[in-house]
A and B are shown apart, each in its own frame.
Chain A
Amino acid sequence: SYELTQPLSVSVALGQTARITCGGNNIGSKYVHWYQQRPGQAPVLVISRDNDRPSGIPERFSGSNSGNTATLTISRAQAGDEADYYCQVWDSNTGVFGGGTKLTVL
């Protein structure tokens, strides 16, 4: 079965750029979606199809996907960006989530 690997945690200074990676075999051949989940809340889609931002998501959020790694980039990090972030792909009609990354804004 297909697996996605994310770092357990990423830290970023306030106002700096955070990068969260998602590794998978030839992930560049798949669309990657990213979700933000704040404590006690349901997930929210922040990036779809590698680098599309849904309505209402700040331009500070962007994504890329190539080779074996997809990356979610959060520019000018704010305190409100502290959350868990999950990458997700579809593989043979099966949904696959990465293990999640906890983003801490220092």
Chain B
Amino acid sequence: EVQLVESGGGLVQPGGSLRLSCAASGFTFSRYAMIWVRQAAGKGLEWVSVISGGNNSTYYADSVKGRFTISRDNSKNTLYLQMNSPRVEDTAVYYCAKGGVGAPIDCWGQGTLVTVSS
């Protein structure tokens, strides 16, 4: 069974930093691109970033470009999202998901809440 479990969410001050992790199991992690999607309370889904299976390619939403970095450790079956200089508007539930450019997002984690506030 495919499982994605996010961790690392919490309260962070504007301008601080936070790293989210996503532990994957049940599939050959290194073969698949992975995605972060976020959802502010009461709002819709927003795509954040995608990384290819081999780490060769990364893409970001304009809203996070230059501040967030997606990465992965295929030896640990883990996906990361480094959030630098977060803003209040980055407050959301962050979902880790399996899928790549052009492909459907066929598996989602349960999400981790990030609150950016002073």
Contacts and interface: CB of A to CB of B under 8 A. Distances in A.
Contacts of A43: 37, 45, 95, 105, 108
Given A94-B47, A97-B44, A45 B61 contact: no
Contacts, number: 60
Interface residues of A, number: 24
A44 interface: yes
Nearest to A48: B104
Interface in A1-43: 1, 31, 33, 35, 37, 42-43
Interface in B39-72: 44-47, 50, 57, 59, 61-62
Interface of A: 1, 31, 33, 35, 37, 42-45, 48-49, 54, 84, 86, 88, 90, 93-100
